[in-house]
A and B are shown apart, each in its own frame.
Chain A
């Protein structure tokens, strides 16, 4: 009787599935973030001309020289800053602009926040697999974490934070989609090296 072989899930397999899951979460987050931005603009009657862009998150510039671990670290760090900014934005909104009825916007804002947390867990796992630090604390230095002082500026700042989350979600998708092939190559190279070594023995 032919027995079925069972294959143990190895390290690279775990990475691949984690990467796929993280990419899926990022895609969801990107979709949810676009809805949030739409709801916010609608709520605040904002037109494009009043809104200012510009990065709030501070990470090293991208480079082709970065290896998988560094790329993951850069992404993870940016997402961590995004979450800190988002938390602060939500708190300030509630504190200074809140008190009204809770509607679709508030619900969507929570959805985005939760989804960002899931994405952070996934990228954290990937970073750990890639040999990165187990626990990363967000670098808030130079971050406009307290935001502006007037309410109108506060609203613009909140919008910028949502845009920043949107931007880094797209970056996450791009980075994660690039990762599996790299891991596979590295995995193959590692396997080849090991087989060569065992042949020599």
Chain B
């Protein structure tokens, strides 16, 4: 058996501890009892009122400490008349009735008209009684108007309150109500006393509410009651700002602490806390570093009290004040020294973290009693503002407020290297660079300097200066050579580092890249590509409108990036852009890819198809148009569609997927009227509608047309000819059927030979075969006919026909009449020409009345001819053609005078 043995000292120590624990438990219990006792010992009546209205009414309330009572509270009431006790009463108040108004009414034993009455009352609870309170009722005082109790009191929302109305002895009760809405019925206590119990469900607005009591004689009165909330404070948080005091803040909920009275000054740990602002108060503390403890705040208004608490170790809740005296001490191009003062000397021993906020971001710095720092990586020639805030590094709680801003400007420096690119067009190479921004120029740019040389020549270098406001230079370079171009910018501090670009030589056999499409998104292009081993120093993406003015822009990317978000403020919807991807190499940039696309495709305007025309081919109809320019293509054209609608509004369509097509054929159409509408197919729908109309005819119709039109033309021409012939029949007849004079042989007179007239209108080609030589005796200009004076026309037979030749100055030769027989005219018996020449017998009798002769009025003018023809006189020698000249129509367009004389071969007298 094993026994445990404890040393004697230890046993005594354990016993002592047990006793101590028991003692402390006893003390605690006693203390609690005492505190509770202390609570209700102060309990007693307050606001005691004694009224007289044909009865004696005593009203009173419980003191606030009575709320500690957990059992029935007894009030002892003693009535005295003329100094003698006449009555003793006890009123029992249950815990739920505490803090309401209590009353007692006496009616039977009082001499209200005589000596004065007084009432004493006190509370009794657990053998503890409160001091007596006495109210004396002076005699002969009666109520004139109804009295309402309680009046001018403050009640919490949600409480139930009983109001009493005590009427003058002569008045009869009418009604009693609270002006807050629904009213319960009143309770009659006796003839002069009525009670209204109301549940107060809402707060008063702006002013107190009224309880009104009205009598039947309209002798009315009222009382004010305030209904509201105790201060609604929450979220208490305590901290220290100066390491010498505690500062607590809380949130105040809305306006529920209204109406009327602001809460009284709150108390922190039972002592007044100085209000700094709404929801903030401060209290001095002896030491901050006392570890964690409870911070309890109490606040109350007329409606009640609120208690908030927060557990905090103030040394871990240091909320510093903002640093002050911030200034810049040393300024360079890219760095400055910033200095400041800490707001409290107590902060000097703290490990502090400060944060500096400048125009371009924030930086954090740490140190004990920190009061300066160097700001690096600043932009030269740049204005900054800086502000800072600090907090304790150890047990960081909150940042201080930001300090006041300090402004400073860094010194200038040479410009940053330019971003240079090139654009080749024909034989010209344009060197372009981006205008340096203010934070890149580091001062005003004076000018740019561009130098270039062939890669094969190290010394033969050209150079030129470009004005500060330009950002490009066009060079005429030999395209078969590679060039190195260098651009620098210069400001007051010097030249920027050089930016170099190699201009590739034009190699006709060089590689070409295909152009593919790219779809825009969100106002730009998301351009991605496959990595290229050639891109040793990255990629360049450049873009410009595919047609029109070239405003080139570019983007340079590192080698590891194969994606670029291309965006420009100049991008417009419905305009096609070309994007080119170059590999940045040690030499000239290498074109890798080319894309074309729209940021957003737009519907093409109507009337896209310029010069649209159609052509029928049997039952087909082909519509053709001019090639569509890029500027008009506000979207990619994927094909074309032709709609053919006839008079019955039935529509058939024909389409092509070839965007380069310039014609489209509609097949197997019926004959009739058609409206042809041509549209372009795009991603945004069919657009650019242009239409023409046409009537389609059948091939038979066309054949008829083809035959009829020439026939009609011929007919018309013939009619015209006939008409002309008819009009000029006389002339024609004269030509064709010349009047054959009677044979008259006369000898040549002394006048010599007169060559007789012949039709000299040399425009007409009359077949006059073997015509005698004629002499024009007289000519008259007539319509369309020219008769030349003294011009001898010889009608010569030419291989190709006959033509007129003017022949002058030939001496007149005797007319020789050759034979009348014309071989060529043989066999033309019916021809008028034939008849002319087949009648050489001169046996024709022409009389004056003859139509033929009448057509030649001029004949009478002719000179008499003496014909000598031996042995042959077929006609009377004296017979002449005489026509009265008065019969001549002066307006007749053509007037020819013919005198034909047949001259014999040999004349003898």
Contact = CB atoms under 8 A, between A and B. Distances in A.
Contacts of B206: 43, 100-101, 103
A151 B218 CA distance: 20
B258 A152 contact: no
A99 B221 contact: no
A168 to B, nearest CB: 26
B220 A100 contact: no
A22 B258 CA distance: 42
Interface stretch (A44-52, A54-62, A69-77, A110-118): A44-52
A152 B223 contact: yes
Contact of A152 (B214, B221, B255, B262): B221
Contacts of B205: 100
B151 A99 contact: no
Interface in A56-111: 97-101, 103
Given A98-B260, A150-B224, A43 B151 contact: no
Contact of B151 (A44, A49, A98, A150): A150
Interface string B206-247: 111010101000101111100000000000000000000000
Contacts of A160: none
Contacts of A163: none
A50 B224 CA distance: 14
A55 B451 CA distance: 105
Contacts of A100: 205-207, 258-260
Given A152-B221, A155-B224, A50 B260 contact: no
Given A151-B208, A152-B224, A99 B152 contact: no
B179 interface: yes
Contacts, number: 50
Nearest to A99: B260
Contact of A150 (B152, B255, B260, B262): B152
A44 B207 contact: yes
B207 A152 contact: no
Contact residues of B: prevailing secondary structure: loop
Question: Which of B221, B224, B259, B262: most chain A CB closer than 10 A?
Answer: B224
B261 interface: yes
Contacts of B210: 44-45, 152, 155
Interface residues of A, number: 15
Interface string A144-172: 00000011100100000000000000000
Nearest to B255: A101
A99 B223 contact: no
Interface string B181-208: 0000000000000000000000001111
Contacts of A155: 207, 210, 224
Contacts of B220: 49-50
Contacts of B151: 150-152
A123 B287 CA distance: 68
A44 B212 CA distance: 12
A151 B836 CA distance: 154
Contacts of A98: 260
Nearest to A52: B220
B208 A97 contact: yes
A158 to B, nearest CB: 10
Interface string B246-265: 00000000010011111000
A151 B261 CA distance: 15
B652 to A, nearest CB: 77
B207 to A, nearest CB: 5
Given A49-B218, A150-B152, A151-B151, A99 B224 contact: no
Nearest to B220: A50
Contacts of A151: 151-152, 208, 223-224
B258 A99 contact: yes
A99 B218 contact: no
A98 to B, nearest CB: 7
A103 B205 CA distance: 12
B220 to A, nearest CB: 5
A98 B226 CA distance: 12
A97 B207 CA distance: 6
A50 B177 CA distance: 13
A193 B206 CA distance: 63
A64 B894 CA distance: 136
5 contacts: A45-B210, A97-B208, A100-B205, A150-B224, A152-B222
Interface of A: 43-45, 49-50, 97-101, 103, 150-152, 155
Given A100-B205, A103-B206, 17 more contacts: A43-B206, A45-B179, A45-B210, A50-B212, A98-B260, A99-B260, A100-B206, A100-B258, A101-B206, A101-B255, A101-B258, A150-B152, A151-B151, A151-B223, A152-B152, A152-B210, A155-B224
A-B pairs, top 8 by smallest CB distance, nearest first, are: A151-B224, A99-B260, A100-B206, A152-B222, A100-B259, A152-B224, A151-B152, A45-B179
